[in-house]
Amino acid sequence: MPAITILRRPMNTQVSSDNPGWKGRGAPALGKLLSRDVLTTAKLAARGKWSTSWHMALEVAANTGNFHVWPMFRSSRECPCCGYVGKSFVATANWRAVSYQSRCPQCDSRSRHRGLVMLLGNVLADLPDGELLFFAPELILLRWLSDHSTLKIVTTDYNSADVDYSGEDIQQLSFPSESFAAILCNHVLEHVPDDRQALMETARVLKPGGVAVFTIPGDYDKQTTRHFDTPDGNGHFRHYGLEVVDLMRSAFPKVETIDMGAQCDPKFGVRRGDMAFVCRK
Ligand SMILES: [Zn+2]
């Protein structure tokens, strides 16, 4: 069985128990936006990287407006991960798209983190006693879970040693069956060569009555999953469509598909179409 090649790093490694304050990258300063970011946009255009350049130009315009030109006309935004209250989240861009109202200036959370925090309070209620196994843990969510979940949180990562169980391959876990009351697996399946086997393994180690929550990147207005012969630049083996629900149903008796953005107040900046898959056994 092939090994996992890439798992995502925790997104904000500056937060630690030694430094409990949030260390997000902050709101973009006007000077940086109008000098370095504009220059970077022009350089990208000069190198023919039109898509990235255009998206970055839109990002600079959005952040200049939202934080420095018209913030007084904006309604408040709130981050449920860290408690930030302000006039905007930060727009971010790459070659593929611009994400408006994306990064929290205080904790660096993105839409899916804020959506999960709004969702998990209900999803993690009424579970069997036991532990929550968190794959490839992100510190923003780990910190929120530590404060809000009654379950003991244990962490695992294929690549990182800074977890409770290092080197676990989600396609072939070493844990006995029915070990965990809950599982959280956030943006991992797309990095795994055999996602069907990964789902079977997570179902195996989940206790009866337990819940496993997955988020994975995809276009969920489409049915079909696009598979790549070799992983793309982000280490993804596939870009999911809604047919992934059928795959999950082959491993779990109950699968609920939740559009986190549709369920949240817009002030939390959770994008419509950011899906969570809630699987129960
Ligand atoms: Zn935040």
pLDDT in tens, 99-131: 999 999 999 999 999 999 999 988 998 899 999
Radius of gyration (C-alpha) of the chain in whole angstroms = 20
Q: Which strand (E) or helix (H) includes residue 113?
A: helix 111-123
Beta-carbon neighbours within 5 Å of ion ligand 1: 79, 81-82, 84, 104, 106-107, 109
142 alpha carbon – ligand 1 mean position (Å): 13
Tokens 């936006």 map to which residue? 33
pLDDT at residue number 121: 87
Mean pLDDT across the stretch 262-269?
A: 91
114 alpha carbon – ligand 1 mean position (Å): 8
Q: Which residue has the higher pLDDT, 231 or 165?
A: 165
Residue 251 has pLDDT above 90, yes or no: yes
257 alpha carbon – ligand 1 mean position (Å): 25
248 alpha carbon – ligand 1 mean position (Å): 31
8 alpha carbon – ligand 1 mean position (Å): 20
Q: Is the pTM of this model over 0.95?
A: no
Can you point out the beta strands (E) in 30-171? 77-78, 85-86, 90-93, 98-103, 131-135, 152-157, 165-166
Tokens 């990208």 map to which residue? 44
143 alpha carbon – ligand 1 mean position (Å): 12
pLDDT at residue number 111: 94
pLDDT at residue number 19: 37
User: Comparing C-alpha atoms, which of 199, 180, 222, 181 is closest to residue 277?
Assistant: 199
**How is residue 192 annotated by DSSP?**
-
Residue 8: pLDDT band with limits 50, 70, 90: very low
pLDDT at residue number 71: 67
Residue 14 has pLDDT above 80, yes or no: no
Residue 149 has pLDDT above 90, yes or no: no
Q: Distance between CA 94 and CA 59 in Å, rounded?
A: 9
Three-class secondary structure of residue 199 per DSSP: helix
Q: Which strand (E) or helix (H) includes residue 213?
A: strand 206-215
104 alpha carbon – ligand 1 mean position (Å): 5
79 alpha carbon – ligand 1 mean position (Å): 5
DSSP β-bridge partners for residue 154: 133
226 alpha carbon – ligand 1 mean position (Å): 32
pLDDT tens-digit readout, 28-76: 888 888 888 888 899 988 998 898 899 999 999 999 998 888 767 767 8
Q: Distance between CA 206 and CA 217 in Å, rounded?
A: 23
Q: Which domains does the chain have, with CATH numbers?
A: 30-103 (no CATH), 111-280 (3.40.50.150)
User: Comparing C-alpha atoms, which of 124, 115, 161 is closest to residue 145?
Assistant: 124
Please say whether the beta carbons of 272 and 217 come within 8 A.
no
251 alpha carbon – ligand 1 mean position (Å): 34
123 alpha carbon – ligand 1 mean position (Å): 21
Residue 278 has pLDDT above 90, yes or no: yes
Mean pLDDT across the stretch 182-202?
A: 96
| 104 contacts: CB under 8 Å, gap ≥ 6 | 24, 79, 81, 82, 84, 89, 90, 110, 114, 269
To the nearest whole percent, how much of the chain has pLDDT over 70?
A: 92
192 alpha carbon – ligand 1 mean position (Å): 29
Q: Distance between CA 30 and CA 208 in Å, rounded?
A: 53
Cα torsion 147, 185, 256, 182 to 10°: value is: -50
Residue 16 has pLDDT above 60, yes or no: no
pLDDT tens-digit readout, 154-173: 999 998 888 999 999 999 99
109 alpha carbon – ligand 1 mean position (Å): 5
Q: What angle do CA 92, 97, 102 make, to 5 degrees?
A: 30
